[in-house]
Amino acid sequence: MESVRVGLIGWGTVGCGVIRVLEENASVIRARLGFPLELARVADLDLETPRPVPVAREKLTQNAREILEDPGIQIVVELIGGLEPARSFILEALERGKHVVTANKALLAHHGNELFEHAERHGGSIGFEASVAGGIPLLKSLREGLAGNKVDTIFGILNGTGNYILTRMTEEGLAFADALREAQEKGYAEADPTLDVDGIDTAHKLAIAGAMAFGTPIRFDQVYVEGIRQIDPLDVQFATEFGYQLKLLAIGRHVNGQLEMRVHPTLIPSSHVLASVRGAYNAVHLHGNAVGSIMLYGLGAGMMPTGSAVVADIMDIARDLASGVVNRVPPLSFLPENTQDIPIRPMEDVTTKYYFRFSAVDRPGVLSKISGILGENAISIAAVIQKGREVEGAVPIVMLTHEAQERAVRKSLEAIDRLDIVRGPTRIIRIEDSENSHVERE
């Protein structure tokens, strides 16, 4: 094969990373493939804003159709983000016999099942390594490196923005708003940080990775999601006193014939390997029945790490083109006919440990009333801190529990928050400790 021609739709941050990797590592890429990758065309609505990686004018266009309709372009790289027109571009590219690479986790989380079915129908392939954890080869590990395992657990930090904010709140005692502002100033957070701080970005990624790990369709709408907007520095401080660190975690588990798929702020022991993951880094703990526990760590976003993952997908597809095969490895790891609609465990049925912070008036009998309601709902207290100082007119009482069911916790807190001795809603953070960070599959 003389070369493989690539068309790039989206000349933004990641697009620039792809172009730079293709240019700077051209000799390495050719040595590994046996032929070059040729960037034939780049489409973007804005061709005037200066970019860190320039493109020859004759290769630029504002019309993505020039890429989709070019019979000489074999691989289309979609990097514009969002649901539309990205979805339509990918569908048309596949219909025209092209292969696709995308970093669009939101699109895959919402429409991935449709896109993969469309690719199979038209004999095309979709590469999407860059959609989850940026430059960390998480999806390739699930698809190939761990192919001989029953993977029962995905447990990790999949959003660098949220991790940066929580790191600054932990290490400097910053309020959430101040840590967010700093993240935006440093370019770690968007002007509208909703997807990152509300946990939605992490949920997109968990839905994709979970489908690959557990052999199910992508079901983003069934992932339980909580963000970090309500995290108070006081809770970060108490967590530290108990020997925990606070992280926004993606948790996927296959246990007792059901899947847990949840994203929320989580306390983990300070000794846990994930507790040391600082700043904008990502890290994912995986557990397979043969390999045991492993962890992948690195930059989960950014121009070059994400560009690296996109180029790896381009190279995989180029090898298949040279060999005359398509989808030698199924995109979601399992053959489509062998995927299973494994039920998602409702959040109310999840059992874990909990951190509670009650804001109560300073009078005798308060602790006994609160603990009495918890006891009535089979919630056992593991540890208590009661501070004498007032915070906003109330005294904080902090409790850690043994394992309890979410349904019982919610019922208890509804009753406690109605007490006249309690000021404001109880703060709740779930706990995952080292002894229950993975659960063996049946």
Residue with the two structure tokens 């004759």: 58
- Strand pairing partners for 42? 8, 60
Integer CA distances (angstroms), 52 to 41, 47, 61, in order? 18, 13, 18
For residue 159, give the amino acid letter.
Answer: N
Contact 190, 175 (CB under 8 A): no
The annotation status of 11 as a binding-site residue, yes or no, is yes
Burial of 168 (0-12, 13-18, 19+ CB in 10 A): buried
Output b/e per residue, 45-62; b: 16+ Cβ within 10 A.
Answer: eeeeeebebebeeeeebe
The annotation status of 14 as a binding-site residue, yes or no, is yes
**Per DSSP, which regions of 150-217 are E strands?**
151-157
The annotation status of 279 as a binding-site residue, yes or no, is no
Burial of 97 (0-12, 13-18, 19+ CB in 10 A): exposed
DSSP 3-state of 298: strand
Task: Tell me the pairing of strands 224-225 and 126-127.
Answer: unpaired
Find all residues with CB under 8 Å of 172, minimum gap 6, and list them: 179
Query: CA 103, CA 398: separation in Å to the nearest integer?
Result: 42
Query: CA 13, CA 6: separation in Å to the nearest integer?
Result: 18
The annotation status of 348 as a binding-site residue, yes or no, is no
The annotation status of 12 as a binding-site residue, yes or no, is yes
Among 98, 205, 353, 411, the one annotated catalytic: 205
**In which element (H, E) is residue 395 found?**
strand 395-401
Nearest to 216 by CA among 329, 114, 344: 344
The annotation status of 216 as a binding-site residue, yes or no, is no
Query: CA 89, CA 87: separation in Å to the nearest integer?
Result: 5
Is 59 noted as a catalytic residue in this protein? no
The annotation status of 16 as a binding-site residue, yes or no, is yes
Asked if the peptide bond before residue 85 counts as cis, ω within 30 degrees of 0, the response is yes
The annotation status of 187 as a binding-site residue, yes or no, is no
Query: CA 441, CA 255: separation in Å to the nearest integer?
Result: 5
Residue numbers belonging to the annotated binding site for L-homoserine: 190
Residue numbers belonging to the annotated binding site for NADPH: 105
Catalytic residues: 205
Residue numbers belonging to the annotated binding site: 9-16, 105, 190
